[in-house]
A and B are shown apart, each in its own frame.
Chain A
Amino acid sequence: EAQVTQNPRYLITVTGKKLTVTCSQNMNHEYMSWYRQDPGLGLRQIYYSMNVEVTDKGDVPEGYKVSRKEKRNFPLILESPSPNQTSLYFCASSFRNSGRANEQFFGPGTRLTVL
């Protein structure tokens, strides 16, 4: 089954404790992206990757890191989480388009709470 998987689905942590949220897709997509969803703000892009070893900042990158060492995986790293990073996080992937966005496929989401 074609899918995007994320782990963990739920996470409660404390301020300053490094964490990683994993994302994996099995559709051979070049493009992958991380979003955070907050009430009243919709989804905002954190980081994205056009292909292996190519990553770039989205609209809200502060406090996050990513890496793309393999095509299928795109982990999101919070090196020192803070309470304002409490949110619902989505990973998405798509085939890379030479122009505008293609349909993106979304993971189930990770609900993160930072105390």
Chain B
Amino acid sequence: AQSVTQPDIHITVSEGASLELRCNYSYGATPYLFWYVQSPGQGLQLLLKYFSGDTLVQGIKGFEAEFKRSQSSFNLRKPSVHWSDAAEYFCAVGIYGNKLVFGAGTILRVKS
């Protein structure tokens, strides 16, 4: 069955430090992959998506993610974190039937 694993429930980084959020998926076919961010009290906003082509994708707010088929991973990165990046981040895989399967989320805290 399809599934998405985000191994880190909470991550704390210092402002200005680099960030990597991990995501592993299980899906039998070539996946469509998404990262969403949820700021406190807000809905989900799409950061970036991967459908095909270049395995390094750029998103909004300075985020990027790399698709690695051999590792079934789609990790999210940012070179320098800002305090406003504190939020919950969700990785999702798009499967047949227009469905998104989400991971459990990673809560990012930023230390000043």
A contact residues vs B (CB 8 Å cutoff):
4, 31, 33, 35, 40-45, 48, 50, 58, 90, 92, 94, 96-97, 99-109
A42-B100 in contact (CB<8A):
no
Given contacts A40-B104, A42-B104, A42-B105, contact A108 B42 (CB under 8 A): yes
Given contacts A100-B32, A101-B32, contact A45 B43 (CB under 8 A): no
Interface residue tally on B, bucketed by range: 20 to 34
Given contacts A43-B90, A45-B99, contact A103 B49 (CB under 8 A): yes
Given contacts A42-B105, A103-B34, A103-B49, contact A90 B44 (CB under 8 A): yes
B43-A97 in contact (CB<8A):
no
Q: Which of B38-63 contact A (CB under 8 A)?
A: 42-46, 49
Give min CB distance, B75 to chain A, whole Å.
17
- Cβ contacts under 8 Å, A103 to chain B: 34, 46, 49
Given contacts A90-B43, A90-B44, A108-B43, contact A43 B96 (CB under 8 A): no
Besides A99-B96, A101-B100, A106-B43, 14 more A-B contacts (Cβ < 8 Å) are: A35-B102, A40-B104, A42-B102, A43-B44, A43-B100, A43-B102, A90-B43, A90-B44, A96-B98, A100-B94, A100-B95, A100-B96, A101-B98, A106-B44
- Cβ contacts under 8 Å, B4 to chain A: 42
B102-A102 in contact (CB<8A):
no
- Cβ contacts under 8 Å, B99 to chain A: 33, 45, 48, 58, 101
How many residue-residue contacts, CB under 8 A, span A and B? 62
- B11 interface contact, C-beta 8 A: no
Some 5 contacts from A to B, beta carbons below 8 A apart, are A42-B103, A44-B102, A90-B44, A101-B94, A108-B43
Q: Roughly how many angstroms separate A101 CA and B97 CA in the complex, as a whole number? A: 7
- B9 interface contact, C-beta 8 A: yes
Give min CB distance, A26 to chain B, whole Å.
15
Q: Roughly how many angstroms separate A50 CA and B105 CA in the complex, as a whole number? A: 26
Given contacts A40-B9, A42-B105, A43-B90, contact A104 B100 (CB under 8 A): yes
